[in-house]
Structure 1
Amino acid sequence: MHKLSASLLSAALFLALLTNCTQKEPLQATKWDKLTLSFAGPETAEDAADNPFTDYRLNVVFSKGLKKMLVPGYYAADGNAGESSAAAGNVWKVHFRPDEEGEWIYQVSFRKGANIAVDDDPQAGEPVAFDGEEGKLIVAAGNYQLPDLRAKGRLTYVRERYLQFQETGEYFLKGGADSPEDLLGYADFDGTYKGTAGENRSGEAENKATLHNYAPHAADWKAGDPIWQGGKGKNLIGAINYLASKGMNSIYFLTMNIGGDGKDVWPYTGYDERSRFDCSKLDQWEVVFDHMERKGIMLHIVTQETENEKLLDDGDTGPQRKLYYRELIARFGHHLAVTWNMGEENGPASFSPNGQTTEQQKAMTDYFKTHDPYQNYVVIHTHSHKELRHEMFDRLLGHPSLDGPSIQIGYIGDAHDDTKRWVKNSAEADHPWIVNIDEIGPANRGLDPDDRTDNNQDTVRVAVLWGNLMAGGGGVEWYFGYLNHNNDLGCEDWRSRDRMWNYTKVGLDFFQRYLPFAEMESHDELSGENTYCLAKPGEVYAVFLPLGGEASIDLAGAEGSYSVSWYNPRTGGELQQTDIKTVEGGEVRSLGNPPSEPEKDWAVLVKAGG
């Protein structure tokens, strides 16, 4: 027995499917939309003796021609747990995102056996209930409007320095929020509470006794936006609306901080549970994630943190870890922009000596690449010390299932050179990485709020945002520092950094509007001391002046005429010009001084055909 729920279906068709359990006509779907197949299986519960999460396994193979995708499913209680808070029922679900129009077929495997959920043998256990069911899908073109990511398709790793959207071919640069890392420690989610009393450790944000509420964003929720259980979720949905309105496209959040900071986020039915999942809580997470996708925001899913990286299977990819990853993939891997982050501050350090080994890190990334049917982007987050991150990532260069570093830097002046290092070294290892800066130091400040009189936003904008992008990096997310208000664990109001969201959007706009950045590489040697240069030599050059002053460009190896335009990294807008409107190739050329405020940072665009 099956039923289909998808956003494209009319209410009448949905009701027809519910009442006609023998429906054999092809089901209708839309390219890039979320299709949900629901199956009626054995009556069971989250706490049943035969654990429905370990002892049953739902897999569905979707095929079109030679393309086959094995998509894992999950136990869904009554099928409406986000609204009902049900912990029992007979519904299993699978989510599928078709990436091609035309006719697809699906074949269902549903089997029972001890710990079968993490057994990859297709013949393990015994067939039960709806095992063997088959059907067809007719997938039509979609008609989606930006910022909805369904208008762009899936964001994919394509063995280049940037992620790329499958539908449009557009390359992605990210800008977004790294704080609060316990975003999902939210009072409106079922089963969410502080697992133990907070520990206020040196070098970390105060561990509040209360969950997040996000009350400052209540007015950002709009009529028609999603809610659950009669009105829950408005404040978090409003917060996402606000961040999207600032042009941000990524949010970093933990899905498990048991034993770590916050102690308020986990997918399980309890803080001490490791093999049973909270169906209603995870359904409610999905409401939020769906809304993020509609608003054009990547899910940066951080699966663990430094304090708990050995919690599951002592760091191995064993039964507990596989079960956890399978549930994440089955429920959330279908989303069109996903980063799987293997762990915050991962690996051993003097202050965290019991970290995962290189082989354990490789095993984690391998699991995602062999079990996520959508092949989403996989990274590992670093410690802040340069020596530690260099030592760790040197050992991981070239590993085929790791797509990039999620870099934390203690000293923001390292952002540009560190980005260049990993772009260059990963290319030489024949597995190019997307290199992002996802956390900045010093830990007590990170990115200061707007109202701090000595705030560091100008310095951070120059050194980190432009430092990363001008080195060929993939973008940034902002960490808020443990001594600031609205800090890493205590942030309730993203408006506390309103100005920095503006600066970030201005930086991303320059690259997306004016540069073929995916074809350009770092050439700092062409623009002189204390400057950055990203170039496609002979065609286009971007020069960034962190300290303002006079700009120059070495065109000794270039011919022809080049136009010269200026861009303000603080205010953005259209390109500006000075008296020097063109220069000729053949030697080092002065580009002159900025149009105004010559002591501040500026970008210069030099293009062939001037």
Structure 2
Amino acid sequence: VYGANFETVDAEVFHPMLTDQIQCQDNPTFMAFGVKDRAGRLAISPRDFARFGLLYLRKGKWKNKQLISREHAIMAVASSLPNSIPRAGKQAADMIPQQRSIGSKNIPDNQCDHAGSYSWLWWTNGVGRDGARHWPDVPVDAYGCFGHGGLRAMVVLPGLDTIISWNDTKIRGAEMENHVLRLLVESHPQAPLEAATQHTRDFGNRATVTWEYLEWSIECSLDSGNPFDVSARVTFTHAGTGQKRVTEMFYDGDDAWRFRFTGTRTGKWTFETSSEVSELNGHTGAVTVAENPSRNIKGFLTHVGNKYAIQVKDDKDLRGYLFNAYMSRVRHPAYLDDFGADLQQVQTKAGACLKDALANGFEIVFVHVNNNWFKLGVREHNKHNSENPDPLAFRVLEKIIKTIHASGGRVHIWAWGDESRKWTPKGVPGGINGKADRRLQRYIAARLGPLAGWTMGYGFDLHEWTNTGQLNNWAVYMHEHFGFQHLLCARGHLLKGPFNLNSYDGFGRNVALTATAHGPADYQEIAEDMDGDLARPHLYEERHSYKRDGFNLDMDGTRRLLWWESMAGGMGGFYGFYPDSPYPYPNPEQLRTHYTFWHTNNRFRLDMHRANNLSNSARVLSVPSKLHCVFYGENASSIHMDLSGMTSAQPAIAVDTKKQYKEIKIGTLSAKEHLWKTPYRSDWAIAVGDFDKAGPAAKLQDSAGQIIADPEHSQWLKRSDGRPFFMCGPGDPEDFLYRGTLRPDGTRTGDQSDLIDKMKGTGANCIYLMAIRSHGGDGDKTHNPFINHDVSKGIDPDVLDQWETWFTEMDKRNIVIYLFLYDDSARVWRTGDRVGEEEKNFIHTLVNRFEHHRNLIWCIAEEYQEALSAKRVKNIAAEIRSADDHNHVIAVHKLNGLDFSEFADEPNIDQFAIQYNVETAEELHTGIVKAWKDARGKYNLNLSEAADWGTGAELRKKCWACAMGGAYVMILGMDIATTAKSDLQDCGRLVRFFESTDFQQFSPHDELGFAGTQYVLARPGRSYIAYASKLQGKIGLKKMRAGVYKLRWFDCATGSEVIKENVTVAAGDRSWNKPGGIGNELAVYIERVGGL
């Protein structure tokens, strides 16, 4: 390339073009052994080698001169070979004469696996085929050059702005390299200088990958007080979306305060500390997060409705997850103190626990802490007098979590045990949720909170020593202090709010959530438990250990319980070995088959639901389109599959669940009924669909059961699982989110929970909410979610946390969160038609926080014309759509009128929120029918505001008039607090009636009304709804198609029903007398069920 030879390369190329440029001092040379003996071998001193590292640390620049391209300098140290590339073969590579071959297994000198960590002549801290990081205790952004197996090396630590170089040491191999580098990192002077300027308190920029935490340390000596009570918060802000993570510092002894962060999204994050302690206040820095290269390592465990969901690429990329914890008290430690205090031994034991779990078909390892929280080695509260968390115990626990998570596993923690053995916090000063316990709870949140890979149950035998109130108090406090949410549960008790599990006690005691001692009786019991709460996931947290004394869960029972829980929709379980259990499982391959079928092949999807109607011989999970289905039949000789309506043919495989995992190809199945005859009787599972093409994360587009715009009938909404959806209820109070006295942290003391409770059981199913009512809206200056109500400070996470509590309760009760971004006339950002960065951050923060709710509709603005242009509204809709991973409905509200032409063809707007101020039910109906016709099926209608609605019969008749015109209904002035419960119930009765029909295929057809019929919704020739507000005589329909019909009569005032089966109807205009028990204000659902 340069025209130089061995004799001239130093003088003509190496020195002038590189070493002189970086001011090398010790005459580096390619002639380490002279010209004749292996020419071209580099000799360089440690300090000159470090200069070479500095060149790459500065991205190819030396003293403001770009010596090598920035792109190359970045690429060279960040392009590790993928694990799919194998090691070299046995044949030696051709080399320059007298040089040794590199890469042959026959010549071991310098031969090693690339371990997923070798880039362009640089070793990186990547993840190998075994899921382990190259240097597990070293920052992930480290890279280096190593010669002679590590004897000679130079390592760059970008996050610490440090280069380390050594020569002729006894360091050999990655394990010793890790040990040396860990010691160097731990001794690094990370604490900033005590100076008043911002610059001296800046930690600079560090790099990491998603799901691996970083840690910072600050040295601070207190003159008085308990350091574990010091309050110091750190706010991390994502530059791209404005998402905020607020975590807390923790005291680690020896005047050291630390804080941690895990990147949940790629890109740049900035942070700033805040504390009344000056030494801990005002520190800043940045973190650049890249995508984790290991697909085996996942993020935080969360949930979508009652399904567990795991974060994959980032916190918006969710995949269905089956939660099954494993304990082996026979062979491996389960109590924290059993792991010991030697962290190297802890790592070894944790790895062995995970290995045993995986060998038995599980990946969640159980760890029981008890009073080890306060003093490692002590389980009982009467055997220690500590009031502070024990940092050593936390080092052990986090080593367990980190080791298992780095290999793709997870940890389920029990915080406490039973009081009979004193394994509770009752005996610590202040008792349950007392001073010492609260100190511990904050410490757990600060120290373990940023670590992905764990969940926590409060313990067992909770009925002995605590109650539901105390447990909810604990959960609320933990979630308030978490910067990264973790799923919590309390066995046998209902925890309110999000991020909590319904955890079942193992015995039939008088507690809220129970299951039998031997597990659920059958699949049906599991399905009923899952359906008991659609908003939160479920867990049978009693340890259903193998043949434990008092239990009868044998091999068949264990395997089948796993499959029942999965096929019921994702019930969690707890398995393994109690001390008196026989070990091992006689057929662990059966449990591994379950793990491989579901986990390894990503077959549990968040959009799956039970669809047992698709088979007469098996349990079924299916997505709405049937393109991905799982059939499971026990002792089956054949399995029936009804794939009628599937949009395209799909491949299918079968697995014998009682054997080692092996797929039997069934072939490609078309959209019809199939009967697969098994090779022999056994418990068989069939997977229909190409799950690989669904994407590795099987990414959720709309949550199971979520309200969506019907893609086949855009004039209506539906549930994503295919169920019909109708909405009728309160169109007030607009100030719902801001009712009550304002607290210092921005939250409210209002009656919101009482309003939600009042709606319970009425069937009314919506509340009209405003996010911003200030800045020209109807509220005061505090009616916004910003920190101290200052837009420039961003959204207050405490406010959103409180909203989340209310929204979760609404979602649980299927009450629509009808959330307006802006009140009428509210204009926060004056950016014309454009959505500026601040507004974009506001929108994305709001959407990302609440998009997981099923019963949610976004509405951009009330009476949008008062503050926004149509173009601005469209741009806002586009931002909502881009941020919302779940395809929620987006609506727009207008001033009085029926014209929606400016948005008729806007793809991101699904609903016209109508304001139509007329006096009578008839006028409302006529207006809605006109709006329906004008919509031409492009969007759906919601009569969300009409003045002087009235109450009682007037209210009810107006609701039915709108519904029969083709619109959902929200009632202005129905503030819930002063609303008669009977009015709410009238709304609920309308909802119940409509959702029992196939109205989503109907259109207004008043022209078909006959006799006393007032309004008609219909799919002519198939099914109809006929309505009369004051029937005189018969009710009837014109142009009936001859056939056999089913008539369901409904009293709109009382909810009474009368069903008439097999009614023969001749063609033409026909009418019927109303049956007894039905009043004159009625509706009839008329469905053709057969021909004549």
Gaps in structure 1 of 5+ consecutive residues:
1-19, 25-35, 59-71, 81-87, 95-107, 115-125, 195-210, 215-235, 349-354, 448-455, 482-490
Cα RMSD of the aligned pairs, angstroms, is 3.9
**Of residues 528, 531, 544 in structure 2, which corresponds to 1:145?**
531
Contact 1:147 1:296 (C-alpha < 8 Å) held by counterparts: no
**Of residues 263, 266, 286 in structure 2, which corresponds to 1:109?**
266
3-state SS of 2:239 partner: strand
Kindly provide the amino acid, as one letter, of the partner of residue 321 in structure 2. A
CA distance in 2, matches of 1:38, 1:458: 61
Q: Report 1:305-344 matches (<5 A).
A: 305-309=823-827, 311-314=829-832, 316-344=834-862
Q: What's the CA shift string for 1:82-110, capped at 9, x where partnerless?
A: xxxxxx9865785xxxxxxxxxxxxx413
TM norm structure 1: 0.65
Q: In 2 relative to 1, CA 181–39 (structure 1 residues): closer, same or farther, beyond 3 Å? A: farther
Contact 1:75 1:93 (C-alpha < 8 Å) held by counterparts: no
Q: What's the CA shift string for 1:522-554, capped at 9, x where partnerless?
A: 211111487111122222221100222134434
CA distance in 2, matches of 1:173, 1:510: 9
**Alpha-carbon shift at residue 498 of structure 1 (Å):** 0.7
In structure 2, the residue matched to 1:291 is: 809
Kindly provide the amino acid, as one letter, of the partner of residue 903 in structure 2. L
**Of residues 929, 936, 944 in structure 2, which corresponds to 1:420?**
929
Q: Report 1:119-138 matches (<5 A).
A: 128-133=287-292, 135-136=297-298, 137=310
Q: In 2 relative to 1, CA 345–145 (structure 1 residues): closer, same or farther, beyond 3 Å? A: same
**Alpha-carbon shift at residue 576 of structure 1 (Å):** 5.8
In structure 2, the residue matched to 1:237 is: 753
In structure 2, the residue matched to 1:572 is: 1055
In structure 1, the residue matched to 2:819 is: 301
Contact 2:1049 2:1085 (C-alpha < 8 Å) held by counterparts: yes
**Alpha-carbon shift at residue 256 of structure 1 (Å):** 0.7
The answer to whether 1:523 aligns with 2:1005 is yes
In structure 2, the residue matched to 1:395 is: 902
Kindly provide the amino acid, as one letter, of the partner of residue 404 in structure 1. Q
Q: Report 1:204-603 matches (<5 A).
A: 213-214=750-751, 236-258=752-774, 259-263=776-780, 264-309=782-827, 311-314=829-832, 316-348=834-866, 355-383=867-895, 385-386=896-897, 389-390=898-899, 393-411=900-918, 413=921, 414-427=923-936, 432-442=938-948, 446-447=949-950, 456-463=951-958, 465-473=959-967, 475-480=968-973, 491=975, 494=977, 496-513=979-996, 515-528=997-1010, 531-575=1014-1058, 582=1063, 584-592=1065-1073, 595=1076, 600-603=1080-1083
**Alpha-carbon shift at residue 503 of structure 1 (Å):** 0.6
CA distance in 2, matches of 1:591, 1:581: 14
CA distance in 2, matches of 1:129, 1:505: 51
**Alpha-carbon shift at residue 517 of structure 1 (Å):** 1.2
Contact 2:1025 2:1084 (C-alpha < 8 Å) held by counterparts: yes
Contact 1:191 1:281 (C-alpha < 8 Å) held by counterparts: no
**Alpha-carbon shift at residue 39 of structure 1 (Å):** 6.0
The answer to whether 1:75 aligns with 2:244 is yes
Larger radius of gyration: 2
In structure 2, the residue matched to 1:65 is: none
CA distance in 2, matches of 1:304, 1:593: 47
CA distance in 2, matches of 1:291, 1:479: 23
Kindly provide the amino acid, as one letter, of the partner of residue 750 in structure 2. N
CA distance in 1, matches of 2:216, 2:792: 22
CA distance in 2, matches of 1:320, 1:336: 27
Q: In 2 relative to 1, CA 193–73 (structure 1 residues): closer, same or farther, beyond 3 Å? A: closer
**Alpha-carbon shift at residue 133 of structure 1 (Å):** 3.2
**Alpha-carbon shift at residue 572 of structure 1 (Å):** 0.7
Q: What's the CA shift string for 1:347-396, capped at 9, x where partnerless?
A: 14xxxxxx32221221111221222222211001122x22xx41xx1221
CA distance in 2, matches of 1:372, 1:597: 45
CA distance in 2, matches of 1:305, 1:375: 23
In structure 2, the residue matched to 1:227 is: none
In structure 2, the residue matched to 1:118 is: none
Q: In 2 relative to 1, CA 75–39 (structure 1 residues): closer, same or farther, beyond 3 Å? A: farther
Q: In 2 relative to 1, CA 132–576 (structure 1 residues): closer, same or farther, beyond 3 Å? A: closer
CA distance in 2, matches of 1:90, 1:589: 74
Q: In 2 relative to 1, CA 584–408 (structure 1 residues): closer, same or farther, beyond 3 Å? A: same
Q: In 2 relative to 1, CA 39–191 (structure 1 residues): closer, same or farther, beyond 3 Å? A: farther
Percent identical residues: 19
**Of residues 148, 154, 159 in structure 1, which corresponds to 2:706?**
154
**Alpha-carbon shift at residue 21 of structure 1 (Å):** 9.8
Q: What's the CA shift string for 1:449-506, capped at 9, x where partnerless?
A: xxxxxxx33122112x212322333x2222217xxxxxxxxx5x53633111111111
In structure 2, the residue matched to 1:31 is: none
In structure 1, the residue matched to 2:728 is: 175
Contact 1:73 1:330 (C-alpha < 8 Å) held by counterparts: no
In structure 2, the residue matched to 1:165 is: 719
3-state SS of 1:398 partner: coil
CA distance in 2, matches of 1:287, 1:363: 30
Gaps in structure 2 of 5+ consecutive residues:
1-135, 141-209, 219-231, 250-257, 272-284, 299-309, 311-318, 324-526, 537-608, 610-703
**Alpha-carbon shift at residue 343 of structure 1 (Å):** 0.6
In structure 2, the residue matched to 1:14 is: none
Q: In 2 relative to 1, CA 300–273 (structure 1 residues): closer, same or farther, beyond 3 Å? A: same
Out of 302-311 and 312-321, give the one that drifted further: 312-321
In structure 2, the residue matched to 1:484 is: none
**Alpha-carbon shift at residue 191 of structure 1 (Å):** 4.8
In structure 2, the residue matched to 1:62 is: none
Q: What's the CA shift string for 1:114-163, capped at 9, x where partnerless?
A: 9xxxxxxxxxxx98344333533473369632552568433222332332
3-state SS of 1:288 partner: helix
**Alpha-carbon shift at residue 257 of structure 1 (Å):** 0.6
CA distance in 1, matches of 2:845, 2:756: 24
Kindly provide the amino acid, as one letter, of the partner of residue 787 in structure 2. T
In structure 1, the residue matched to 2:457 is: none
Q: Which has the higher contact order (CA 8 A, sep 6+)?
A: 1
CA distance in 2, matches of 1:41, 1:416: 63
**Alpha-carbon shift at residue 192 of structure 1 (Å):** 7.2
**Alpha-carbon shift at residue 73 of structure 1 (Å):** 7.3
TM norm structure 2: 0.38
Contact 2:1058 2:1075 (C-alpha < 8 Å) held by counterparts: no
Contact 2:270 2:286 (C-alpha < 8 Å) held by counterparts: no
Contact 1:237 1:288 (C-alpha < 8 Å) held by counterparts: yes
Contact 1:51 1:276 (C-alpha < 8 Å) held by counterparts: no
In structure 2, the residue matched to 1:607 is: 1087
